Amino acid sequence: MDTKIYLSSPHMSDEGFELNYVHDAFEKNWIAPMGENVNKFEKELAAKVGVKSAAALSSGTAAIHLALKTAGVGAGDIVFCSSLTFCATANPIIYVNAIPVFVDSDFETWNMSPVALEKAFEKYTPKAVLVVHLYGFSVDMDKIVEICKKHNVVLIEDAAESLGTLYKGHYTGTIGDYGVFSFNGNKIITTSGGGMLVSNNEEKIAKVRYWATQARDPARHYQHSELGFNYRISNVLAGIGRGQLKVLNQRIKKKREIFKFYKSELGQLDGVEMMPVNEWNEPNYWLSCILLSGYVRPSDVMGALEAENIESRPIWKPMHMQPFFAGYDFVGDGVAEKIFENGVCLPSDTKMSHEDLDRIVKIIKKLW
């Protein structure tokens, strides 16, 4: 059996940047609780994406939780949420006892449809809109921002998959009121686990850091005026993040090459479409995804790859189709469902060689 090819696995720098920061933490015994890696990771990421303030947290999920909390979303509030996403986008809405209303995608972006969003506003008055930049491809933000401004509603960007993606020259995660990044193991850069909440509202981010460290009041004794969370990242993991940030552009370059290769090799096949790249979108190409409309089905592609020790995945199953969220409303026309049923995430690991990529497209082309 040939060596395994992964969908998207951790890829540390050749230079050992990450280990240097981790060594530094060991030498200074800043294993815990905090330390300069955490502060610098926040500053360096904020500078990279051009935002005033960032709070480094234990996961992207924790960042979404605290984004909702700081946006003032609470019990009984409605949150409009992209349906086509991973469950970690929607679960925090339940953590704060709010009510998700799921919004459909469009085929132009695979992301939240502005048309469906407008329709949702005809039916409900939400406290916040939570949009996802799926697989590293940007939402059409101008349209979504305009709708949110018109209705005076907070906009949160789940940019967990889209660190480094540009929308009209602005980094995703910095366009709405709050942005969320994830450094989970399969993301474009990873700390093995971690997340970041960013905003231009420095006061709000300072409050997020306070909540994330058990809401400890600035007093010598242990005093708490609010409910707290243990949501900070560790100084060791933040060191990995600082090293990974240095290779983010390299990772994006490789992901773009992978996408372009698939597009040139598979894009001409009957009934194959790549995930669309719009003129305003400069994706990080986290995952290369295809949509199938012919006789070859996603299960054929995934099965053929699996038989050759190669990992691929279905598209996220939309939230409105999940048993857990069955009781919540959905506004749309079945687009997310069609993308789920007909899409495949192809191996997008940045450690793949040209030979690996050749091997993959050969296997897929045999199905035609």
Binding site for ligand PLP (CB under 6 A): 59-61, 85-86, 88-89, 132, 158, 160-161, 182, 184, 195
CA distance 345 to 84: 14
Phi, psi of 363 (to 5 degrees): -60, -45
* Of 182 and 235, CB closest to ligand PLP: 182
Q: What torsion, rounded to 10 degrees, do the Cα atoms 25, 27, 28, 31 define?
A: 40
* Of 62 and 120, CB closest to ligand PLP: 62
- Tell me the closest approach of the beta carbon of residue 222 to ligand PLP, in angstroms: 28
* Of 164 and 359, CB closest to ligand PLP: 164
- Tell me the closest approach of the beta carbon of residue 138 to ligand PLP, in angstroms: 13
**Which residue is associated with the tokens 């330390």?**
35
* Of 38 and 160, CB closest to ligand PLP: 160
3-state secondary structure (DSSP) of residue 170: strand
How far does CA 307 lie from the centroid of its chain?
A: 29
Pairing of strands 128-132, 78-82: parallel
- Tell me the closest approach of the beta carbon of residue 112 to ligand PLP, in angstroms: 12
* Residues in CB range of 216: below 8 A, 6 or more apart: 210, 222, 223, 224, 228
- Tell me the closest approach of the beta carbon of residue 86 to ligand PLP, in angstroms: 4
- Tell me the closest approach of the beta carbon of residue 2 to ligand PLP, in angstroms: 28
- Tell me the closest approach of the beta carbon of residue 342 to ligand PLP, in angstroms: 20
* Of 113 and 182, CB closest to ligand PLP: 182
Contact 269, 275 (CB under 8 A): no
Angle between helices 17-27 and 36-49 (to 10 degrees): 150
- Tell me the closest approach of the beta carbon of residue 13 to ligand PLP, in angstroms: 20
* Of 80 and 86, CB closest to ligand PLP: 86
CA distance 364 to 157: 34
Contact 32, 213 (CB under 8 A): no
3-state secondary structure (DSSP) of residue 91: helix
- Three-state SS across 276-323? CCCCCEECCCCCEEEEECCCCCHHHHHHHHHHCCECCEECCCCHHHCH
- Tell me the closest approach of the beta carbon of residue 220 to ligand PLP, in angstroms: 34
* Residues in CB range of 122: below 8 A, 6 or more apart: none
DSSP state of 160: T
* Of 183 and 272, CB closest to ligand PLP: 183
- Tell me the closest approach of the beta carbon of residue 266 to ligand PLP, in angstroms: 24
- Tell me the closest approach of the beta carbon of residue 159 to ligand PLP, in angstroms: 8
* Of 189 and 291, CB closest to ligand PLP: 189
CA distance 151 to 173: 20
How big is the CA angle at 189 (ends 306 and 302), to the nearest 5 degrees?
A: 15
* Of 56 and 291, CB closest to ligand PLP: 56
Q: 275: closest CA among 256, 260, 288, 266? A: 288
Q: Which residue is nearest to ligand PLP (CB)?
A: 60
* Of 77 and 158, CB closest to ligand PLP: 158
